[in-house]
Every structure is written in C-alpha cells, then in structure tokens.
Chain A
Amino acid sequence: MAILRAAIQMLLFPGLVYAVSASFFMLWLQRKINARLQGRIGPPFYQPFFDFVKLLGKQPIGRPMLQGFVMTALPVAAVAAMLGAVALLPVLPSGAEFPGDLVLLVALIEVGPLLAVLGGFVSRSMWGELGAAREAVMTAVYNLPFLTALIALGWTSDLSISKLATTATWPVRFLALAAILLCLPAKLHLNPFSISSAEQEIYAGVTTEYDGPRLALWELAHGLEWVALAGLFAVLSVPLPGVADVWRILVFLAISVLVVVLLSVAAASTARLKLAQTARWFWLWGLLLAGSALGLTLAGI
C-alpha cells in the first residue's frame, strides 16, 4: 500500500502528471493576468503547451559535440530536479517521509538556478554569461532570507517537511512565510527582481543561445519551478492534520493558484530594480523577517 501511495505521489499527484500540466497552466495564468492588467487580451490557455511542442519540433543549431551535449544535459537535469522537488511536496501523507527531507527538497529546488548559471556560461554567449553572472549573484541575494526562513520553520521538526507544517508556531509561521513570499518573485525572475532575465539589458540572459528542444526544456523547468515554489508555499502555510485527502488537495491547489495571482499582480505593477538595490532590499527586509522568525523559534515562542 505504501509503495502504491509513493508511486501515485511520484507519477500522478503531485508528481509527473500534475506537475507538468500545472506548470503549463501557471505559465499561462501568469501571462493572462499580466495581459489583462495591461489592457490586452492575452493568450489562450493552451498557448504555453503549444509553444513547448513547437520548440520541441525545431531543429537546433549545430554545435560542437561536447557543448551540444552539455547544453542538452543541463536543462534535462533541471527538469528532473524540479520534477523531483514537486513530487516530494507532502500534499497527502505518504508514509515515506524521513527526517531531513526538507533539505532534499530545498536542494532539488536550488539545483535549477545553479544549472541555469552553468547553462549560461557553457553557451559561450556574452549575454548568456552576463545573465549567468547576474543569476549567480541573485541566488546569493535571495537565498539568504529564503533559507533562514525555512530553517526557522523546520527547527522544531528535525527539518522534516511534513511535520514542520504542524509544529511551527503561528508567529514564526507568519514571519517565515512572509519572507518566503518575498523571495518568490526573485526566484521566478519576476518584476521587480527580474534582473537575470532583463530583456532590455541582456536579451534572454542565460537562455539567449538556447534553441529548439533545449529551450523547450528550460521553459518546462521554469514552469515546474512555479509549481514547486507555489506548492511549497501552499504546504507550509496551512497545516491540515487529520483532514480528508480531497480537502487537502483542494486547499493545496487553491493556495498555489493564489500565489501565482499575487506574484503576477505584483510583477505587473512594478518596474525592474537594479542588482545593488535588490541586494539591499533582500538583505534588509527579507533578512529582518526571516531573522525574526528564527529568533522567535530559538526563543521558543
């Protein structure tokens, strides 16, 4: 029975099937909200999927063998890591949890940006390298408050993600979740922190030199990042011990969509900040929230 549940979690929900379909849905929802707020009609709901399929069908530009291999392997690995992260989300109790699974989840989420940095550098394009350098600095900028907030949440539960949702106290939870929510636009390259994908400054940044199926995989990895991060926020925000599975799933989906709506609205109503301004902002406000959450946890409040 445990194996069946684990298999369902990996392949069906919140794993492969949900993750991929939700990633296309969230990419669409973000574009649609953005368009409506800007007085445009916006794309039909199947557009991100069609874009993906069209890119898959394109023949990529010929590259030296090793470079071509690395440029394919990196987005594949990014997709795999993100799928793993989504499958680990404890939406339903599976019985397969272990102490420290939060570390594995965070590691998988963080693999994506790291691979993107590598991907930018191996593409040997000036804009790719600039994008990669910016992405690398950005990971240092937003991860400090992000990880501090997660540690504050997981301190009392052996860094176990399923227990953490029930053990953290409300003041800690509130502060830590606020800090995590602040970091999400930076992690998803959204305004006002869309520095590593600033098309008016560095074209497409990391993915400038990627084409066809390779670009499609980066797009999918980005969509999965949306699902993973919105999902992470959802499972952390509302503890539901002893609640029927259907309700757990519905609450999880509702909060995930709410996060997408919130981030899209924030992105549509701001300009892009500069790297130094972003760093100052995160290390002040992000760390203030996350640090106070950690302080409260350590003080036992």
Chain B
Amino acid sequence: MSPVIPLGPFHPALEEPYKVEVTTTGETITDAEITVGFNFRGIEWLAERKTYTQDIALLERVCGICSNVHTLMFCRAVEKIADLEVPARAKFIRVIVAEAERLHSHLLWAGVACNLIGFETLFMTCFSLREQVMDVLEGISGNRVNYAMNRPGGVNRDITDPASILDAVRTIADVTAKQLIPVMTTDRTVRARCSGVGILTREDAIAYGAVGPMARASGLATDIRKSAPYLVYDQLTFDVPVRSEGDVFARIVVRALEILESCKIIEQAIDMMPAGPIAGGLFLAVPAGEAAIRIEAPRGEVVYYMESNGTDMPARVRVRTPTFANMPTVRVMAIGQGLSDLGLIQASIDPCYSCNDR
C-alpha cells in the first residue's frame, strides 16, 4: 500500500497554513489532495454588516501583500454602481501604487522561491530590493503594508515627490536586469532545482482556469491590463511576458520580466501624470444596483461582485482571488514529481492562503 504523507497545515518553509496530503511510491508523488480554509475570517460576511467606509478598511486586510488591490476593486465597484467620475490624476496614482505593489509581491515571491531552493544570498538580494519598494509605498501613502490609498471617486493622498520614486524604480530595474535575472537564469544549481519541475501544460492551464503569471508561464497570454484595460493602462506601453515551458523555472522568468515591465509602467505613469484634483467630492449614498469588476493583481485576475440595495451597507460582496483559481493546479503539477520538489511546486503558484480563505 502506498503511504499517504500529510504535509501541512504548517510547512517548514511556507508561512501560511494549507495542507497537501500526498500519496507516494518511494519518493515519487502519485496523488495529492489539497485542503484549504485554515485561515477563514468571514470577511465577506462581515462586509455585508459594515458601512461602505468601514468596508474599505476591512477589505484592505484580505491580503497582507496585495492589500491595495482589494480596496481598488471595492472602490471601483462602488464607482460603477454610483456612477462616480475619477479624476485623471487619481487614475495615474492608482496605477503607480498598483504597480509598486506588483513589484513588492513579485520580489517577495522571488525571495521565497530562492529561500526554498536554499539560495540564501539571492533571497537577501530580493528582500533588500523589496525593502526599497516598501519605502516607496511608505513615501506615497505613509504605510508599508495597508496603504489606505483608495476611496470611492479617487485616492486619499497625492504623489508629492515623484523624483524619489523614479530613483528607487530605476535602481530596482537596474539590479533586477543586471543581477537578479542573470543569476536566476544562468546559475546551474537554480536550473537544476527548477527546470522541468512542476510542469503545467497549456491544456491543463486552460482546463484548470489558471490565471496570472501561472498561466503566462504555461504559454497563455492573458493579462486583464491588456485584454480589458482599466484605469489608464490603455495609454501605457508595456509587454506581457509569456513563456511556453510551464515549469517552475518559466514562472521565475515570467515574474522577473514582469518586475521590469512594472518599473517601465511606473516611469511612464509618473511622466504622463497630469496636474489636477486627486478625488471627487463626497458621495452621499450608493444607489441600488450591482457591479462585477476584474483587475490584474500581482498573482493574477481578481474578481469582485458587489450588490447594493440603497442602504449604507452593501448587500453582497463576493471576492474571488487568483490563488483560488491557481490552487487546483498544484495537484496536476505534483503528480509524478519527487517529494522534495513539492514545497517549491506549492510555492510556485505564489499562493496567498490569507486571500484564498478570506
């Protein structure tokens, strides 16, 4: 009989709780079953019992890394229902914060991936870059994690020192292009650990509905910023990196190239940012209605559905995070792989169980 090995909910290297029970023959995984929900906080339920203003603070706490995405989604849903106009400058500021957050998320993930394959030096490089992004975000918003930038109809704070942001972004782009990417793509030990590991074919990526960098590393050119542009993404020039290999190595490369693209976007947005107000006036009430919004978060497509009934509290807020879409792919990727690769495969989807469980 093949032994079933429970890995998790607490894993030596992955900080958040989630459980994979793997059936093995020797070192090879023959089946895997995924259990989630250890981090459930009832945020959707709470959101229906708080006012719109309180919900912004609540939804910011869905995720500890892409916190800005959730307030942005919520505010855009409110704007859509209440038909609020967002000033142009606010749209650019939203793009800058969103892309800085993508830098933060990707650098953090790259660091975690390096840590998982035991490459401590590269892990430190990634985290020192991430520190600079956090400084940028702190400079803009006054906060390092929950930025509290968005409000229905605009943003809360203006960008007053664009030069310092440009400096930091250029350093990050420089170090990423000259150090991070060359080491990650040419180091033989990194290749040995990541090439051909955890392959998700194009067909499987479509069948399982993979999103974001996961799908792009499996040859699917999906990016909401291109296919359904929001804010001012249609005015900015950037590429969507796509790789066809579908292994962990391809995911590393896709995310590393996205770091460079995000830097490009921030530079353009700062150049093009018009002067003007950063938010509209106060809105009095949200009329009855519903809205579905999707945007490209660092980990992939996030979908929000909101229904309002004309009171000061939303009737329904539904959150679908990219981790929920990507999680089932772990099973197909793990089957046939060695037990010692499982941690890396789990991490390669850039999972956020906190978002997933809400």
Contact = CB atoms under 8 A, between A and B. Distances in A.
Contacts of A270: 119, 187, 189
Contact of B340 (A191, A203, A275): A275
Contact of A200 (B12, B121, B125): B12
Given A38-B124, A271-B187, A203 B119 contact: no
Interface stretch (B78-86, B109-117, B233-241): B109-117
B338 A271 contact: no
A1 B193 CA distance: 57
Interface in A58-106: none
A270 B340 CA distance: 18
A273 B192 contact: yes
B228 interface: no
Given A39-B128, A192-B189, A275-B340, A269 B12 contact: no
A176 B170 CA distance: 48
Contacts of B114: 271
B193 A273 contact: yes
Contacts of A277: 192
Given A38-B124, A270-B189, A191 B118 contact: yes
A124 interface: no
Interface residues of A, number: 25
Given A201-B340, A271-B114, A274-B338, A38 B121 contact: yes
Contacts of A271: 114, 117-119, 122, 187, 189-190, 192-193
A208 B35 CA distance: 27
Contacts of A203: 12
Given A270-B187, A272-B189, A273-B189, A198 B121 contact: no
B8 interface: no
Contacts of B120: 34, 38, 191, 268
B13 interface: yes
B124 A194 contact: no
Contacts of B12: 127, 199-203
Q: Is the interface of B mostly helix, strand, loop or mixed?
A: helix
Q: Is the interface of A mostly helix, strand, loop or mixed?
A: loop
B343 interface: yes
B190 A200 contact: no
A271 B13 CA distance: 15
B96 to A, nearest CB: 27
Most chain A CB inside 10 Å of its own CB: which residue of B118, B120, B190, B341:
B118
A274 B28 CA distance: 14
Contacts of B187: 270-271
B128 A272 contact: no
Contacts of A39: 124-125, 128
Nearest to A278: B192
A18 B177 CA distance: 47
A37 interface: yes
Contacts of B115: 200
A194 B118 CA distance: 8
A233 B77 CA distance: 68
B3 to A, nearest CB: 13
Nearest to A191: B118
Contacts of A202: 12
A200 B338 contact: no
Nearest to B347: A200
B124 A269 contact: no
Contacts of B119: 191, 270-272
25 contacts: A34-B121, A38-B121, A38-B125, A127-B12, A191-B119, A191-B120, A191-B189, A194-B118, A200-B343, A203-B12, A268-B120, A268-B121, A269-B121, A270-B187, A271-B114, A271-B118, A271-B119, A271-B187, A271-B192, A271-B193, A272-B189, A274-B338, A274-B341, A275-B340, A276-B338
Interface of A: 34, 37-40, 127, 191-192, 194, 198-203, 268-277
Given A191-B120, A199-B12, A270-B119, 13 more contacts: A39-B125, A200-B12, A200-B13, A201-B12, A201-B340, A270-B187, A271-B117, A271-B122, A271-B190, A271-B193, A272-B117, A272-B189, A272-B193
